[in-house]
Amino acid sequence: MADEKDPRFDRLLDHEYDGITEYDNPMPRWWLLTFAGTVIFSVIYLFDVGPIGNGKGRIADYEAEVAAAAALQPETPSMIDPSQLLAMASDASVTSAGQQVYASYCAACHGPDGGGLIGPNLADGFWIHGGSPEAVYKTIAEGVLAKGMPPWEKSLKPDQMNSVTAYVLSLAGTSPTNPKAPEGDPYTP
Amino acid sequence: MSSAVLPMEGAAASPRLESFSYDDVIVRKFLWATFIWGLVGMLVGLIVALQLANPIFNTSLEWLSFGRLRPLHTNAVIFAFAGNAFFCGAYYSTQRLLKARMFSDALSKFHFWGWQAIIVSAAITLPLGFTQAKEYAELEWPIDIAIAVVWVAFAINFVGTMIKRRERHLYVALWFYIASIVTVAILHIFNNLSMPAGLFKSYSIYAGVQDAFMQWWYGHNAVAFFLTTPFLGLMYYFMPKAAEGPVFSYKLSILHFWSLVFLYIWAGPHHLHYTALPEWASTVGMLFSVMLWAPSWGGMINGLLTLRGAWHKVSEDPILKFFVLAVTAYGMSTFEGPLLSIKSVNALAHYTDWIIAHVHTGALGWNGFLTFGMVYWLLPRLFQTPVYSKKLMELHFWIASFGILLYVVAIYSAGVTQGLMWRAFDTTGRLAYPDFVETVVRLLPMYWLRVAGGSLYIVGMLLFGWNIFMTWKRRPAKYEVPVITAPALAKKYVPAPAHGAPVPAGLWARFAAAGWHRTWERMPITFTVLTTVAVVVASLFEIIPTFLIKSNVPTIATVKPYTPLELAGRDIYIAEGCFNCHSQMIRPFRHETERFGEYSKPGESVYEHPFLWGSRRIGPDLARIGGKYPHLWHVRHFNEPTSMTARSIMPAYPHFLTKTLDFEQIQSRVDAMAMIGVPYGDAVRGQAPAMARAQAEEIAAEIEKQGGPAGLADKQITAMVAYMQRLGMDLRAQPTTVGVAK
């Protein structure tokens, strides 16, 4: 304490309460300066001086953030060629990766083996929203909100999108244990 | 020591000596209640910590799930543990600081038993799901009325004691008690104004933005005036007592007291940064929180500097150790508070465990350790025998300190980890952790560390209890009640002849000498009124604009009241305490809108009595959950969350599928909502149960069609599904592109 050399330091007041006494010490200067500093900061902030303040406001900041991100990223991730997807469906290294994605995100509704549960059967060759590779990819990517299928485009990485599409295509013709009745139209490649 | 003559004021005062004794029976009662409820509150805390680490601890009993027990933990620790500790210390110190027995022993007893009855009723009703859904104000309206009555009894008793005091001036500890008593009453009454819809159900009279504002005006100041100012008062009495030295600075006491009382009350909106609260309110909340830093630290400085010259005692005296750690924890959490209130910091910390760590630094360190030190100091004086074991006190100190350290380090890192995971984008511009549950399971190791840290703290609590019990066992057969003799206060104040410095010359010097404040200290009623004015004026500056400025809440035409069935679902959501883990408030950040959808607008909450924005996201935000999944998904998810999200830590709610929904009751709920301004109109008059049944049948049929179980039409699940599917849908009905469908 810088003030300790002050002769007025540690002078007792004539206050006494149940044996408790009080010094008349000055308030620490650094403390007073801190207090004053926060008040000055608050005034500056309130009047939005320079970089201190709300600036354009939280909604404008958000819109700028979205615009900056949009400028940086292409609009939609390009889907790979449908024939490539079809080829991947018979590539075990791709479908095993796809199976893992499927187990984490799809199995809850479509059953662990694609037999359908809340969502439709994926193995019976019948499709509500089309069975072509590009239609299946689109359904997974964009979802079908009206029927409760969420869009996965934002949640899955591009390679996960492709591998899970390939895996779903590979389910065609398998025989799940508890198959749900077919829904939609048959699709033949 | 059967009698003592206390010194008197100026020699000119009339020396009419009066004899009296202090009521320590009531202090002993509050001491026991402090320990017992403290242990209960902390054990419930341990249970909820375990539930987060592994959901099996939710058990299959619906009364013991996290959403119902978490409010029990917070209420027990705040109002039962800290509350009884405050009363214990206040009843002991007030009588001695005023040289007077409490105004009325009957009121003291009423206060004690009334408060314990309120705690018991909270412990029963919260697990039963009776809740107002406002944090730390969960208790339903009949209990709220009881709280108000008991609090007023306490206030009368306290003011009465001040009036019949034999000490001319009010010591700083009493200023803090006054501020606490007055402000808690105001906060409690105005935040809990609600419309009853049955004996254990009510709806806040405020809605949406206004309700959120009122709640956090209350919530933040519950921290201020229930956990801070009462304990500063206790610190000002028990710390100089234990240190046997003078308080560092009287001037500092004055400035930090008034600045604290005046500034604290503004700070509430910092709990609502980036929500639909108007930005001006958010800014005011932040700036007043920043300005609170120094006033808060004033208390810490006055406490720590009171120990100057006594530091050698700290190494030998466990009581002083407890006090030093308490005041240090206070300093840390009151530095962190302003830091967290800065918007950009809050953007990261809000909804995460950072806030949980912050409050536990305060609760375990400041409130807990101050209580432990105070009780250990009181033990020999109340039970009139030396403390059973100083060694156990030392052990308690070290175990509990280590417990706090383990707890907060784990939970700070959990908070920062989750906050950073939420906002992380990968190089393709996608969320790096789009699957919410990923950001939850990452925290589980930290949650287990918290269990360990909390358990250590509870071990300390058991040592504390053992020491209290053994000291009590050695009490004398009959407590000695010392007779105190002190002169009554003369009608007119005659100052004692000045010794020491002469009256300083100059206006500023005279002001700085604080004689004016000394005058206030002689007038307890004036002092109480001035404190009330400080608090009320500061509150009105924020409350009036929040309620009156129309542009705070732009109307959205498509936002409509809930259907009767949806309202019933919302009531279940409230009863289960879902809001303890799920927010319904998407902030305007790209990472939030990418994850959850369009950010929440103030106009969406206009019929939200009470608001359900939430304060912690243990599960994902639900503001836009409507229409995201089919009905059957929700049915299966409520029944067994892990069947839909394998690593989910959400408790299961299979009883939604088996318990019958009380359709007839819905009418009274709708009517209560209509009474507080929700435009239900004539169509719903008397028709609510029929409308609800019709909607429930539709939902049940759809569930069956999707391959789900049949016969759910009269079950609670239909109401829950209806409510879930409604959330966020009103905004979607709004044309969002400019110029379309005008």
CB within 8 Å: A14 and B499: yes
Q: What is the CATH number of the domain that holds B592?
A: 1.10.760.10
Residues in chain A within 8 Å Cβ distance of B248? 23, 25
Does residue A104 sit in the same domain as residue A152?
yes
* Gap from B553 CA to chain A (nearest CA, Å): 15
* Gap from B249 CA to chain A (nearest CA, Å): 5
Least confident of B252-261, B295-304, B501-510, B589-598: B501-510
Single-letter amino acid code for the residue at B27: V
Does residue B167 sit in the same domain as residue B311?
yes
* Gap from B599 CA to chain A (nearest CA, Å): 10
Mean pLDDT of B456-482: 97
Tally of domains within chain A: 2
Which of B355, B309, B316, B318 is closest to B333 using CA atoms? B355
Residues in chain A within 8 Å Cβ distance of B499? 14
Distance between CA atoms of residues B247 and B96, nearest Å: 17
Residue B18 located in a structural domain = no
Instruction: Give residue B493's pLDDT.
Output: 85
What percentage of chain A's residues is helix, strand, coil (to nearest 5)? 50, 10, 40
Does residue B579 sit in the same domain as residue B477?
no
Taking only the tens place, the pLDDT of each residue in B82-139 is 999 999 999 999 999 999 999 999 999 999 999 999 999 999 999 999 999 999 999 9
Q: Which residues pair with B194 in a beta bridge?
A: B204
Residue B301 located in a structural domain = yes
* Gap from A189 CA to chain B (nearest CA, Å): 28
Distance between CA atoms of residues A135 and B37, nearest Å: 62
Residues in chain A within 8 Å Cβ distance of B428? 73, 77, 157-158
Q: Which of A72, A105, A132 represents a domain boundary (last residue)? A: A72
Question: Which residue in A58, A75, A78 has the most chain B C-beta atoms within 10 A of its own C-beta, making it the best mutation to test that interface?
Answer: A58
Beta strands in B278-374 (DSSP E): none
Taking only the tens place, the pLDDT of each residue in A21-58 is 999 999 999 999 999 999 999 999 999 998 899 999 99
Residue B524 located in a structural domain = no
Confidence band for B522, pLDDT divided at 50, 70 and 90: very high
Distance between CA atoms of residues B431 and B582, nearest Å: 20
In the predicted model, what is the mean pLDDT of chain B?
93
Residues in chain B within 8 Å Cβ distance of A162? none
Residue A116 located in a structural domain = yes
Question: Other CB atoms closer than 10 Å to residue A53's CB: what's the count?
Answer: 13
Does residue B589 sit in the same domain as residue B706?
yes
* Gap from A108 CA to chain B (nearest CA, Å): 5
Does residue B102 sit in the same domain as residue B213?
yes
- With 90 as the cut, is the pLDDT of residue B549 above it? no
* Gap from A172 CA to chain B (nearest CA, Å): 22
Residues in chain A within 8 Å Cβ distance of B429? 69, 72-73
- With 70 as the cut, is the pLDDT of residue B500 above it? no
Looking at chain B, the number of H-run helices and the number of E-run strands are 29, 5
**Closest residue, chain B, to A8 (C-alpha):** B501
Taking only the tens place, the pLDDT of each residue in B667-688 is 999 999 999 999 998 888 899 9
* Gap from B588 CA to chain A (nearest CA, Å): 6
CB within 8 Å: B590 and A65: yes
Distance between CA atoms of residues B283 and B734, nearest Å: 30
Instruction: Give residue B1's pLDDT.
Output: 39
Instruction: Give residue A9's pLDDT.
Output: 82
Q: Which of A31, A47, A72 represents a domain boundary (last residue)? A: A72
Residue A77 located in a structural domain = no
CB within 8 Å: B632 and A118: yes
A92 at interface of B, judged by CB pairs closer than 8 A: no
Residue A149 located in a structural domain = yes
Confidence band for B567, pLDDT divided at 50, 70 and 90: very high
Instruction: Give residue B14's pLDDT.
Output: 54
Q: Which of B483, B504, B519 represents a domain boundary (last residue)? A: B483
Q: Nearest by CB to B707, which of A41, A117, A150?
A: A117
* Gap from B455 CA to chain A (nearest CA, Å): 35
A20 at interface of B, judged by CB pairs closer than 8 A: yes
Confidence band for B737, pLDDT divided at 50, 70 and 90: very low
Taking only the tens place, the pLDDT of each residue in B366-400 is 999 999 999 999 999 999 999 999 999 999 999 99
Least confident of B165-169, B390-394, B502-506: B502-506
Max CA-CA distance within chain B? 93
Does residue B573 sit in the same domain as residue B682?
yes
Does residue A181 sit in the same domain as residue A88?
yes
Distance between CA atoms of residues B381 and B96, nearest Å: 13
Is the distance from CB of B66 to CB of B52 less than 8 angstroms? Answer: yes
Mean pLDDT of B529-541: 94
Does residue A38 sit in the same domain as residue A16?
yes
* ∠ CA A186-B636-A138, rounded to 5°: 35
Does residue B450 sit in the same domain as residue B585?
no
Instruction: Give residue B157's pLDDT.
Output: 98
- How far CA B703 is from CA of A96, A148, B6, B629, B698, in Å, comes to 33, 12, 79, 12, 9
Tally of domains within chain B: 2
Residues in chain A within 8 Å Cβ distance of B643? 108
Confidence band for B736, pLDDT divided at 50, 70 and 90: very low
- How far CA B402 is from CA of B48, B358, B674, in Å, comes to 21, 16, 53
Taking only the tens place, the pLDDT of each residue in A48-60 is 998 899 999 999 9
Cβ under 8 Å to B: A residues 37-56: 38-39, 41-42, 45-46, 54
Q: Which domain holds residue A9?
A: 2-72
The DSSP annotation for A9-55 comes to TTPEEEEEETTEEEEBPPPPHHHHHHHHHHHHHHHHHHTTBTTBS-T
Residues in chain A within 8 Å Cβ distance of B93? 18
Residue B247 located in a structural domain = yes
CB within 8 Å: B171 and A17: yes
Q: Nearest by CB to A46, which of B253, B287, B425?
A: B287
Q: Nearest by CB to A41, which of B290, B588, B633?
A: B290
Q: Nearest by CB to B290, which of A42, A104, A105?
A: A42
Instruction: Give residue B495's pLDDT.
Output: 76
Does residue B432 sit in the same domain as residue B287?
yes
Does residue A100 sit in the same domain as residue A174?
yes
Residue B151 located in a structural domain = yes
Distance between CA atoms of residues B578 and B570, nearest Å: 10
ipTM of the complex: 0.89
Look at B13 and B544; give whichever has higher pLDDT.
B544
Question: Which residue in A11, A38, A117 has the most chain B C-beta atoms within 10 A of its own C-beta, making it the best mutation to test that interface?
Answer: A38
CB within 8 Å: B633 and A118: yes
Does residue B590 sit in the same domain as residue B455?
no
Interface A:B, Cβ pairs < 8 A: 165
Residue B128 located in a structural domain = yes
**Closest residue, chain A, to B705 (C-alpha):** A118
CB within 8 Å: A118 and B706: yes
> Helix B318-341 vs helix B369-383: angle between axes, to the nearest 10 degrees?
150
Does residue B74 sit in the same domain as residue B209?
yes
A130 CB-near residues (< 8 Å, 6+ apart): A136, A138, A139, A187
Question: Which residue in B343, B377, B629, B736 has the most chain A C-beta atoms within 10 A of its own C-beta, making it the best mutation to test that interface?
Answer: B629
Taking only the tens place, the pLDDT of each residue in A73-130 is 765 656 778 888 888 888 899 999 999 999 989 998 999 999 998 899 999 989 999 9
Confidence band for B738, pLDDT divided at 50, 70 and 90: very low
Q: What is the CATH number of the domain that holds B110?
A: 1.20.210.10
**Closest residue, chain B, to A144 (C-alpha):** B628
Q: Which of B483, B508, B527 represents a domain boundary (last residue)? A: B483
Does residue A55 sit in the same domain as residue A112?
no
Does residue B449 sit in the same domain as residue B576?
no
A19 at interface of B, judged by CB pairs closer than 8 A: yes
Q: Which of A72, A90, A124 represents a domain boundary (last residue)? A: A72
CB within 8 Å: A38 and B288: no
Residue B359 located in a structural domain = yes
CB within 8 Å: B251 and A27: yes
A26 at interface of B, judged by CB pairs closer than 8 A: yes
* ∠ CA B706-B708-B714, rounded to 5°: 110
Q: Which domain holds residue B610?
A: 564-732
* Gap from A23 CA to chain B (nearest CA, Å): 5
* Gap from B191 CA to chain A (nearest CA, Å): 28
Confidence band for A4, pLDDT divided at 50, 70 and 90: low
Beta strands in B246-381 (DSSP E): none
Does residue A56 sit in the same domain as residue A101?
no
Taking only the tens place, the pLDDT of each residue in A143-167 is 988 788 888 988 888 889 999 999 9
Q: Nearest by CB to B294, which of A8, A24, A38?
A: A38
Percent of chain B's residues with pLDDT above 70 = 96
CB within 8 Å: A20 and B171: yes
Does residue B190 sit in the same domain as residue B294?
yes
Does residue A99 sit in the same domain as residue A173?
yes
Single-letter amino acid code for the residue at B5: V
Look at B358 and B309; give whichever has higher pLDDT.
B358
Does residue A109 sit in the same domain as residue A41?
no
Q: Which of B467, B483, B499 represents a domain boundary (last residue)? A: B483
**Closest residue, chain B, to A117 (C-alpha):** B707
| Sign of torsion over alpha carbons A144, A148, A153, A157 | negative
| Sign of torsion over alpha carbons B664, B668, B673, B677 | positive
Does residue A28 sit in the same domain as residue A87?
no
Instruction: Give residue B587's pLDDT.
Output: 98
Instruction: Give residue B540's pLDDT.
Output: 93
Does residue A34 sit in the same domain as residue A87?
no
Look at B79 and B707; give whichever has higher pLDDT.
B79
CB within 8 Å: B426 and A157: yes
Residues in chain A within 8 Å Cβ distance of B259? 35
Distance between CA atoms of residues A10 and B380, nearest Å: 31
Does residue A61 sit in the same domain as residue A86?
no
Does residue B209 sit in the same domain as residue B105?
yes
Does residue A21 sit in the same domain as residue A99?
no
CB within 8 Å: B588 and A11: no
CB within 8 Å: A154 and B169: no
Residue B538 located in a structural domain = no
* Gap from A146 CA to chain B (nearest CA, Å): 7
Distance between CA atoms of residues A85 and A99, nearest Å: 15
Instruction: Give residue B231's pLDDT.
Output: 98
Cβ under 8 Å to B: A residues 165-184: 180
